[in-house]
Amino acid sequence: MPAYAVIGGQWGDEGKGKIIDYLARKASVVARYSGGNNAGHTVINDQGKFAFHLVPCGIAWENVMNVIGNGVVVDPNILIDEITKIKKANLPGKILISNKSHVVMPYHIELDQLEERSRGNTSIGTTGRGIGPAYVDKVARSGIRMDELLYPLKLQEKLSEIIEVKNNIIQKIYNGNPVSLENTVNSIFRWNNFLSPYIDEINHLFEKTLNQDKNIILEGAQGSLLDIDHGTYPYVTSSNSTIGGAITGLGIPPKKITRNIGIYKAYCTRVGSGAFPTEIKGKIGEKIRQQAGEFGTTTGRGRRIGWFDSVAAKFSSNINGFNSIVITRLDTLDSWKEIKICTKYELDGKIIENFPVDHEKLSQCKPIYETLEGWNSSTFGISEYSKLPLKAKKYLSFIEKKLNIPINLISTGPKREEIIAIKDPIP
């Protein structure tokens, strides 16, 4: 039966974790397809509050298989830590790691941080988790796959050569600290011991599930505007967070994806460097950040805040082909007197409605806003559409018209039940 993709429509942190946890009650499989532990997905439900970095957000549901796909890069230390916490919290979901997913090694983490430092004031603001360098090795065909952790003696032999090369780069180019071969070898035996039962091939499971009357959720990480091809390059992550990544990152036939669900915050945030036309800078931005608690789930960095950008949103919905929209954090706008939405940009004295490809051009774009009246009352926790203030409904309908895609869910708080289901995207 069908697959449902859940994809961030902005620069990440749209609330994908919350929505996937909500939707997963109707799924047999939740499969993460891209990124690594640069992601931080918050889930709050009856079992507690969790921040998942690698394990998919269907883990709180019994009988849901949570797959880490071949498109993901996995830091085994982080995954072991996460699985240990999941077991402690008695979360009942099951876990399967693709034997084709790549390992984030200690030298990747070292290199990520050294490369960032050497970029100086053009640094990307990566999460420093080794994600970029791990994907570089994957594409260069010199990466280590999870499958290889099943044969640690063989991997040990290969590792001494790799580490020699990596340490040359670390020391001679970046003047950094070498990675210890001995510690890394000890690690691979520990990883083998803990993770072996979870590592297997994933495609038979998808085939079986899709042939039965069961649903698969394809879990996106990051956001479409951070996609390596379609995002604000070079201020992007190193994988395809858009729909193409879901297909290659799992091995799911495109025709099986019946619904493609775009998650958008009711405003915008961005972590790290890069153009952000609707950014609210200075004291007001800081005030909103503090009030809304907009700090990264992975790094704790303050998130940059901005108005909803419908030019960027339309671009991401077009490249993904969203046919269902979810708006999160509506309640965060409750006390704003007026709310702006960017509907066009001005670039070099001309009005444009298309999101520029070139980052330099995007950074010169001036947003043109339409201003709507704020509703000035609490929507927090509302679960029925009829109970929303009229002005909040007007705001949502403005976004819906701009994107020309139905809003199926509206999130009004961080907890699972704080949601308005206009029409559940998974029937």
Which residue numbers are catalytic? 13, 41
* By the rule CB under 6 A, 132 interacts with ligand IMO: yes
Q: Please, what is the minimum distance in Å from the beta carbon of residue 202 to Mg ion?
A: 24
User: ∠282-226-162 over CA atoms, to 5°?
Assistant: 120
**d(C-alpha 203, C-alpha 140), whole Å:** 24
* Residue 329, contacted partner among ligand IMO, ligand GDP, Mg ion, none, CB below 5-8 A by kind: ligand GDP
Stretch that binds ligand IMO, among 120-128, 155-163, 243-251, 414-422 (CB under 6 A): 120-128
Phi, psi (rounded to 5 degrees) for 172: -80, -35
Residues 6+ apart with CB under 8 A from 77: 187, 191
CB-nearer residue toward ligand IMO: 40 or 76:
40
Asked if 356 touches ligand GDP (CB under 6 A), the answer is: no
Q: Which two tokens stand for residue 46?
A: 């009856």
Kindly tell me which of 40 and 367 has the beta carbon lying closer to Mg ion.
40
Query: 8, 35, 231, 245: which one contacts ligand GDP (CB under 6 A)?
Result: 8
Binder among 131, 243, 266, 409 for ligand IMO (CB under 6 A): 131
Among ligand GDP, ligand IMO, Mg ion, none, partner that 310 touches (CB below 5 to 8 angstroms by kind): none
**CB-wise, 258 or 297, nearer to Mg ion?**
297
415 DSSP assignment = B
Residues 338-397 that bind ligand IMO (CB under 6 A): none
Neighbours of 371 (CB within 10 A): 10
Minimum gap (Å) between residue 73 Cβ and Mg ion: 16
Question: Between residue 203 and residue 222, which ones bind ligand IMO under the rule CB under 6 A?
Answer: 221-222
Stretch that binds ligand GDP, among 35-43, 88-96, 205-213, 251-259 (CB under 6 A): 35-43
Q: Stretches 38-46, 152-160, 179-187, 384-392: which one binds ligand GDP (CB under 6 A)?
A: 38-46
Give least dist CB 38 to ligand GDP, A: 10
Give the nearest distance from C-beta 375 to ligand IMO in angstroms. Answer: 27
- CB distance 310 to 368 below 8 Å: no
Ordered DSSP codes for 32-65 = E-S--TT--EEEEETTEEEEESSS-TTTTSTT-E
* Binds ligand GDP (CB under 6 A): choice among 412, 416, 425, 426: 412
Q: What is the per-residue burial (b if ≥16 Cβ within 10 Å, else e) of 275-301?
A: bbbbbbeeeebeebbeebebebbbbee
Tell me if 328 contacts ligand IMO by CB under 6 A. Answer: no
Residue 411 CB, nearest approach to ligand GDP (Å):
3
Calculate the dihedral angle through the C-alpha atoms of 196, 138, 209, 89, rounding to the nearest 10 degrees.
Answer: 50
**Considering only residues 38, 238, 239, 328, which one is a binding residue for ligand GDP as defined by CB under 6 A?**
328
Would you give the binding string for ligand GDP spanning residues 259-298, x where CB under 6 A is met?
A: --------------------------------------x-
Measured CA to CA, the distance from residue 352 to residue 359 in angstroms comes to 15
Within 282-311, the residues that bind ligand IMO by CB under 6 A are: 297
Question: CA-CA distances (angstroms) from residue 389 to 46, 380, 409, 418?
Answer: 28, 11, 16, 16
Task: Pick what 124 binds: Mg ion, ligand GDP, ligand IMO, none; C-beta below 5 to 8 Å, kind-dependent.
Answer: ligand IMO
Which residues, in sequence order, are CB contacts of 269 under 8 Å at separation 6+?
10, 11, 12, 13, 294, 303, 304, 305, 306
* Pairing assessment for the beta strands 102-103 and 73-74 based on DSSP bridges: parallel
- Binding site residues, Mg ion, CB under 5 A: 13, 40, 297
Closest CA to 41 of 63, 19, 25, 70: 19
- List CB contacts of 138: < 8 A, sequence separation 6 or more: 73, 102
Report, in Å, the least distance between residue 397 CB and ligand GDP: 18
CA angle 38, 41, 47 (to 5 degrees): 140
Looking at the Cβ atoms of 6 and 216, the one nearer to ligand GDP is: 6
Residues at the contact surface with ligand GDP, assessed by CB under 6 A = 8, 12-18, 40-42, 44, 297, 328-329, 331-332, 411-414
